[in-house]
Structure 1
Amino acid sequence: MIGGASSLTILPVPAIIGYSDVTTVYTSVEKSKVASKHLMIYSVFLFGLAFAAEYWLPLQIIAALFAALAHEGLRLIGKRAEAKRSVLFVHPNDGLRVLEVIPGSPAARMGIKSGETIKKVNGIPVTDKRGLYEALQSQSAFAKLEIINLSGHIKLVQHSLYEGDHHQLGIILAPDDEAPYYIEMEDHNLLKLFRQKAEKIFRGA
């Protein structure tokens, strides 16, 4: 306060907002495309508000609120989209679902993709990891797989086997009931974080 008058100055504070997500209904490629689209729209609007705030100061507050609230909005949009689709990475009763493929492996060279379903190996139906291993061992020179692709169509792929190849051709299967560990997912958001912080403050008071 100077000479009985006071002044208020808005100081810019740099901040970094991170973004992470988990999916159980999309492949990694699909999820990357969806998330990239949403983040691009979010970034364009935030940049526009920040640029306009240079000419009209009240927009600085609006831009700051938008950065936090729209970030939470992206999380909710993703959560709702996940709820509308069936879980992808679970094994059907008549096959094995591919979680991921190791780059450079025989499976990658055969064009096997995440989310596809292995129905048969060397003509033998497979429904578990042991069955997959035994079917691969039935032929020492090559592997022939019948696969249901992401469009629901059957495709046949084959590959010669060599010493030192991955015992599952480089295929990482979706977890099953015999998985030795699992991840428990919790819903974290800014509102929940603020509530937890407030509860700690009141308990400590």
Structure 2
Amino acid sequence: MTVLQNSLLAIVLFILQPTFLAGIALVFLAKSRRFKYSRAQLRASIYKDHYELRRFFFWGIIPGIAISLVSFLAGLPVSIDWIISYHIITILLLGFGYRFIHPVFTFTLSALAALVIGQFVSLDEQLSSILNQWNSPFVQTDSLSFQSMQPVLVLTILLLLSTILTLHISKLNQFTPRFMKTKRGKLVARYRMTPLWLVPLVVIVPGETFTQLFNWWPVFSIGSQSYSFLIIPVLLGFRYTVQAQMPTQAKNALLRDFLILAVISVAIFGFTFWQAEIAVLGLLVLLVGGIVVLYRHRLRERQWSFRFGPAEEGLRVVAVRPDSPAEKMDIEIGDVIMESNQRKLETAEDFTESLYSSRSYIKLKVKRIDGELVITETALYENDAHDLGMVLLEDIQLIN
């Protein structure tokens, strides 16, 4: 077969893997739900582009290339057992939505599950023969089983560091508000952040499993051991809700906690060169630490009051449409519109009437989330004279 045919077959195999198909389905479902909700609750879609798809396909390309090179150059082999376990664990965790779809959870649980099975499940001769063809840690000695955890620990740490860098550089600025009523009956807005993206990761798999299935599969040897390459689709995602902090503030706090977890994990990894079994401790620390980080976020949200509730004076902004007059005036979520065209605002009707007083110009007095008062203004055109592109909390009628 030609190089082109081999490449196309490798891509087809990548696309047919369960986690890739599940990730695609999840992204399309999220986009569909967002459009449906926006039209029903907000009477229009705030973000008309398909940013979920762009994020899913493009955020992970550079990290995937970089980590794949490290995996190859450092020689980090993973077993076919772990790859199968990864697909199964990821599909199961998808039942919780985006919340735990990250290698901090999926990689660690898959490795620990493979280790537990290898330690406690007895194998008959026929099954052992099959697993031997996979170079499975299930039929190796305990020492080698623990050593197989070290590459998974390294890959998980690298993917965690890439997550921190990706979220730090990228902008999570698509804020679609969700609404709820407090115990006192006040309407408040909150924002569910669900970043999800795909990292194509090239891993080294010991043995000749793939050549038995596909005779064209490339194999290389080091000494007496044969190795193959496989591209696996790694899903990276989180889900966290923001209602008491600004979204950027909440993201930065999460990244600080994850960075601390990454530093601790790197320190533990250093000890695995003296004792391979410590890799299991590193995986447990990553798993438990990931849960703790998300729990700390929930505690921060519970300790503070609702940030996006009704203002004592003025009207609360809960969404801003891109490329709108409101965006040109630097209006942001959480801002309070105090005055419009020198008219003090108490109700949404006051704001609508103020817009009719001037069809070509708008001047707003805005109170920022930190209490700063600013004056902002812009020219209006015929198409947007009565649509500044922002959603006010006071305009919302809650739809159950």
Band of TM-score, shorter chain: 0.7 to 0.9
Q: For residues 180 and 167 of structure 1, what CA distance do their matches in structure 2 show?
A: 24
Q: CA RMSD of the aligned region, Å?
A: 2.6
Q: How does 1:68-147 map to 2 (within 5 A)?
A: 68-147=287-366
User: By percentage of residues, which structure has more helix?
Assistant: 2
Distance 1:101 1:51 in 2: 47
SS at match of 2:275: coil
TM-aligned CA deviation for residue 49 of structure 1 = 2.4
Identity %: 20
Q: How do 1:1-20 residues align onto structure 2 when only pairs under 5 Å count?
A: 7-8=141-142, 9-10=145-146, 11-12=148-149, 14=152, 18-20=237-239
User: Which blocks of at least 5 consecutive residues in structure 2 are unaligned?
Assistant: 1-121, 123-139, 157-233
1:129–1:105 Cα change, 3 Å = same
Once the two structures are superposed, what CA deviation does each residue of 1:4-54 show, in whole Å capped at 9, x if it has no partner? xx9423233847774321110122222222222222222232233234324
Q: CA deviation at 1:88?
A: 0.8
Give unmatched runs, 5+ long, in structure 1: 182-205
Contact kept? 2:359, 2:385, Cα under 8 Å = no
- Shift in Å, 1:175: 6.8
Q: After TM superposition, give the deviation of residue 84 of structure 1 in Å.
A: 2.0
Corresponding residue of 2:72:
none
Give CA deviations for 1:175-203 in whole Å, capped at 9, x if unaligned: 7661224xxxxxxxxxxxxxxxxxxxxxx
| Distance change >3 Å, CA 18–CA 56, structure 1 → 2 | farther
Q: CA distance change for structure 1 residues 83 and 140 in 2, over 3 Å: closer, same or farther? A: same
Q: Which amino acid aligns with 2:284?
A: L
What is the aligned partner in structure 1 of residue 397 from structure 2? 178
Task: Identify which of 234, 237, 242 aligns with 1:23.
Answer: 242
Residue 40 of structure 1 aligns with an amino acid whose one-letter code is L
Secondary structure of the 1:103 match is coil
Q: Which residue of 2 aligns with 1:198?
A: none
CA shift at 1:143, angstroms? 0.9
Letter in 1 for 2:391: I
1:172 partner amino acid: V
User: Do the aligned partners of residues 139 and 166 (structure 1) sit closer, same or farther apart at CA in structure 2, a change above 3 Å counting?
Assistant: closer
Using the TM superposition, name which of 87-96 and 16-25 deviates more.
16-25
**What is the alpha-carbon distance in structure 2 between the residues aligned to residue 103 and residue 63 of structure 1?**
43
Q: Is the CA contact (8 Å cut-off) linking 1:119 and 1:148 kept in structure 2?
A: yes
In structure 2, the CA distance between the partners of 1:134 and 1:47, relative to structure 1 (3 Å rule), is: farther
Matched, 1:159 2:378: yes
Residues 316 and 393 of structure 2 are in contact (CA less than 8 Å); yes or no, is this contact kept in structure 1?
yes
Q: Deviations over 1:73-118 (max 9, x none)?
A: 1122111211221111112242211223223221121122221111
Match of 1:22, SS state, is strand
**CA 1:100–1:31 in structure 2 vs 1: closer, same or farther (change >3 Å)?**
farther
Structure 1 CA distance for aligned equivalents of residues 393 and 374 of structure 2:
20
* 1:90–1:175 contact (8 Å) kept in structure 2: no
SS in 2 for 1:63: helix
Q: Distance in 1 between matches of 2:370 and 2:329?
A: 17
Equivalent pair of 2:361/2:378 in contact (CA under 8 Å): yes
Number of residue pairs the alignment of both structures matches: 177
SS in 2 for 1:143: strand
Structure 1 residue 145, shift from structure 2 partner: 0.8
Return the TM-score normalized by structure 2. 0.40
Q: Secondary structure at the match of 1:47?
A: helix
Greater mean alpha carbon deviation, residues 157-166 or residues 167-176: 167-176
User: 1:153-195 CA deviation, whole Å, 9 max, x = no partner?
Assistant: 22111111112227441213337661224xxxxxxxxxxxxxx
Structure-2 separation of matches of 1:113 and 1:148: 10
Aligned partners of 1:160, 1:96: CA distance in 2, in Å? 21
**1:60 Cα shift?**
1.2
Alignment check: 8 A CA contact 2:315 2:394 kept = no
3-state SS in 1 of match to 2:245: coil
